[in-house]
Chain A
Amino acid sequence: MLEINNLHARVDDKEILKGLNLAIRPGEVHAIMGPNGAGKSTLSNVIAGREGYDVTSGEILFENQDLLALEPETRACEGIFLGFQYPVEIPGVSNMTLLKAAMNARRKHRGQDEIPPGDFLAWVRDRAKLVKIDPKMLSRGVNEGFSGGEKKRNEILQMLILEPRLMILDETDSGLDIDALKVVSDGINALRSPERSTVLVTHYQRLLDYVQPDFVHVLARGRIVKSGGPELAKELEEKGYGWLEAA
């Protein structure tokens, strides 16, 4: 599904990713862990196509097409979803407006007609239940006045509604209390399927107790320095990253 080869990327003239390789097959859940400043968020943002991230060499293939050649909105329509670490507040653009515009953009991309309003409302109402968001909150501006936990749940709600093929969750677990973490994990698990892949970028083992990864990677100094199974996350929890960074 996703293949990253020798990826080098810069932010403001500073090289953050230095030859990163990663391959993700359909249905897999990959956790990417690592110390602060290792390039975890940069990797997420480069995949999603966020502006300000400069790829200097290497390639990313998504379903065998050159992902880096696509605009961010096209990547989203192709099925990539980035759950942000710090979701932005957009007063004046309601959550419903965003969701409807996003859904219809995707349908248009696939050559489908716009979703009938009744179906849209029913779908949103159904999905909102999964993340325990009162649909009335969705009439407000995007994330406007939402608590930190509500913002993260709203990211998951968008993901549940848009049903991406590749979910990238950038520290979605940070700042969540245990109940919110459970809700967010349930949302992610609800979407797990043999056709859908997941990348969890996280600092903590905690999330991985709820969302079982197939692979765990350690990102340090701009590269994947170690990969393993779920047991690697536990090892990191005990030993920290020092032993890998020194290696």
Chain B
Amino acid sequence: MPLSSYSTQFERHANALTAAERAPRSVQFARFLDSGFPSRDEEHWHYTDLTALSDRSFEPEGQTAEALPQPLLDDADALVYLNGRLLSERGAADWHSDAAELPPPSRGVDALNAAFATGGLRLRLSQGERLTRPLQVVLISRSDAQPTMSHQRHVIELGDQAEATVLLDFVGDGGERLATHFFELRLGRGARLNLYRIQNEAAGGTLVARIDAKLSRDAKLNAVTVDLGAGLARHDLDINLAEAGAEADVAGLYAAQAGAHIDNLVRVVHSAAHCRSRMNVRGLVDERTKAIFNGKVLVQPGAQKTDSEQRIANLLLSRKAEVNAKPDLEIYADDVKCAHGATVGQLDQVALSYLRSRGIPKDVARGLLLRAFAIEILDRFDWPALRARVEANLHLPSELTTDFEP
């Protein structure tokens, strides 16, 4: 029977809870059983079918080695989670919570997550509070002997004028895994969040993550997202510009390895007048990878003077690569400025041959051109150590440090 392994796991999970804890979880799990995993028939899941997960069996508590897949960034405080459990922390104990804050009854993966979810990041800054150091949240999904699953719910709440830089660092390695992460972001008036989401899921892993952000008056969200790795990843970024003057700037890069399936859905809802949104996305899509990017901007009635722009550009690097990119615009106000566009192209062979004619080996020349394509997104990093790490992961030639003073 489909989903039976999940039922077995849920019973075990629920038995360990108090009756009061169990009730809302059971409601969520019933909703999950009712809807199942999303299939292609569902809106927003057109390119990613998770129904194959129905017959799988994942252990919620996988036994694994406790080693970091990569060192922490020196200049950040850190929380490190392994399969949903806090493994270690550095200067960030205050920002962890074991308890999960559950959403209203939902469906699909949301409901599955809510039924099992443990806590995770809970960053709450009061009015005017500023994080002095960036916060690196490492979310590792790993399995050794048995397929494992983990589900977490996270919260970031910035009070009025509060400021923070947060890195959501998704890492997956080894074997078959399922990880789901839901983030609630609340930005108070004039608050500012620099959010980095880096995903490096290895083959065999399935990652479903959603970030729901709500911005108050004059709040600003800078989001930089990078998808690497070879797993199956689905990311939703839902941004609600709820009050006037709110601003969201999303820069995205996907450059996955062979076998990867990367599905991004970024939605920005302009609910109030005088808000600004930017979406600038670049994709490098190589052999046997499938990349999907759906951008959507919805301008609600009354959201006059909306200023929005969506740009999606892709480089297809192989005949066997597949990309589906769609910018979408829905407008219910008449005094707005909205632009959108998507392109899919190939590496510039003339430029490649020019560089080679100067003695630069083909692979280096290719790397320089790929870097040139990605540079607009890389330049959005305001965190040199993280940028260097990402560039190394992209296997692009390092930045030229020799130059005349500008």
Contacts and interface: CB of A to CB of B under 8 A. Distances in A.
Contacts of A106: 359
25 contacts: A49-B357, A71-B356, A73-B357, A73-B358, A76-B356, A76-B358, A88-B348, A90-B354, A92-B372, A92-B373, A93-B369, A93-B371, A94-B403, A96-B400, A97-B400, A98-B355, A98-B358, A100-B402, A101-B368, A102-B359, A120-B402, A139-B403, A142-B354, A162-B358, A162-B359
Given A71-B362, A92-B372, A93-B372, A48 B404 contact: no
Interface of B: 348-351, 353-362, 364-365, 368-369, 371-373, 375, 397, 400-404, 406
Interface string A88-125: 10111110111011100110010000000100110001
A72 B404 contact: no
Interface residues of A, number: 39
B354 A87 contact: yes
B349 A50 contact: no
Nearest to B350: A88
B400 A91 contact: no
A239 interface: no
Contact of B375 (A73, A92, A121): A92
A100 B357 CA distance: 14
Given A71-B362, A96-B400, A139-B404, 5 more contacts: A50-B353, A90-B355, A92-B372, A100-B400, A102-B359
Name the 5 nearest CB pairs between A and B, nearest first: A92-B372, A76-B359, A102-B358, A117-B402, A105-B359
A224 to B, nearest CB: 24
Contact of B354 (A49, A77, A88): A88
Nearest to A48: B357
A50 B404 contact: no
A138 B402 CA distance: 11
Interface of A: 48-51, 71-73, 76-77, 82, 84, 87-88, 90-94, 96-98, 100-102, 105-106, 109, 117, 120-121, 125, 135-136, 138-139, 141-142, 158, 162
Contacts of B357: 48-50, 72-73, 76, 82, 84
Contacts of A136: 404, 406
A88 B406 CA distance: 23
A121 B368 CA distance: 20
Nearest to B402: A117
Nearest to B374: A92
A94 B375 CA distance: 12
B402 A73 contact: no
Nearest to B369: A93
Contacts, number: 98
Contacts of A48: 357
A121 B359 contact: no
B355 A93 contact: yes
Nearest to A76: B359
Contacts of B369: 90, 92-93
Interface centre among B360, B372, B400, B403 (most CB of A within 10 A): B360
A117 to B, nearest CB: 4
A73 B375 CA distance: 25
Contacts of A109: 359
Given A90-B369, A90-B372, A121 B355 contact: no
Contacts of B356: 71-73, 76
A87 B373 CA distance: 19
B358 A93 contact: no
A96 B402 contact: yes
Contacts of A117: 401-402
Given A77-B359, A82-B357, A96-B400, A51 B349 contact: yes
A216 B331 CA distance: 68
A175 to B, nearest CB: 18
Interface centre among A98, A117, A120, A138 (most CB of B within 10 A): A98
Contacts of A158: 358
A73 B350 contact: no
A7 to B, nearest CB: 19
A94 B400 contact: yes
Nearest to A97: B400
B350 A139 contact: no
Contacts of B358: 73, 76, 98, 101-102, 105, 158, 162
Contacts of A135: 404
Contacts of B401: 117
A93 B367 CA distance: 10
Interface centre among B349, B368, B375 (most CB of A within 10 A): B368
B238 to A, nearest CB: 31
B198 to A, nearest CB: 22
Nearest to A90: B351
